[in-house]
Amino acid sequence: MIPALDVLAGRATPPFLAQTTPRDRDGRRVALMALAGPVAAIAASFAVILAVFGAGRALGVPHNVVGGELGDLPRLLKSSVYIVEVGIGLAAAAAGLLLAARLIFRRPFHSWITVAPRFRWQVLAWGAAAGVVAILALSLISVLMPQSGEAPILDAGEPLKQRLIYMAAVSLGFLIASWAEEVVFRGYLLQQVGVFTRRVWLVLLINGVIFALFHLEFDPGALAARALLGMVFAWATLRLGGLEFGIGAHATQNLGVAMFGEVLLPTSAPTAIKLSELGFELVLAVVILACVEWLYRRRTLAALAEA
Q: How do residues 45-88 score in pLDDT, each as one tens digit? A: 999 988 887 777 776 665 665 555 566 778 888 888 889 989 99
For 202-233, the pLDDT digits (tens) are 999 999 999 999 988 788 888 888 999 999 99
Domain map (residue ranges) of the chain:
14-305
Taking alpha carbons only, the member of 135, 132, 152, 128 closest to residue 79 is 152
Torsion of CA 126, 130, 131, 135, to 10 degrees: 150
> Does residue 291 have a pLDDT over 80?
yes
Taking alpha carbons only, the member of 117, 104, 119, 129 closest to residue 36 is 104
Q: What's CA 67's distance to the chain center, in Å? A: 25
Answer with the residue of higher pLDDT: 44 or 12.
Answer: 44
d(CA 155, CA 163) in angstroms, rounded, equals 9
Cβ–Cβ < 8 Å for 174, 127? no
Phi, psi of 155 (to 5 degrees): -80, 110
What pLDDT score was predicted for residue 292? 94
What pLDDT score was predicted for residue 19? 93
What pLDDT score was predicted for residue 305? 56
Q: Which range has the worst mean pLDDT, 86-95, 130-139, 158-167, 260-269?
A: 260-269
Taking alpha carbons only, the member of 115, 62, 72, 54 closest to residue 238 is 115
Task: Determine the residue type at 267.
Answer: T
What pLDDT score was predicted for residue 38? 96
d(CA 14, CA 3) in angstroms, rounded, equals 11
d(CA 297, CA 274) in angstroms, rounded, equals 36
Q: How many CB atoms lie within 10 A of CB 118?
A: 8
Model confidence, pTM: 0.90
> Does residue 108 have a pLDDT over 70?
yes
Cβ–Cβ < 8 Å for 172, 84? yes
For 155-201, the pLDDT digits (tens) are 878 889 999 999 999 999 999 999 999 999 999 999 999 999 989 99
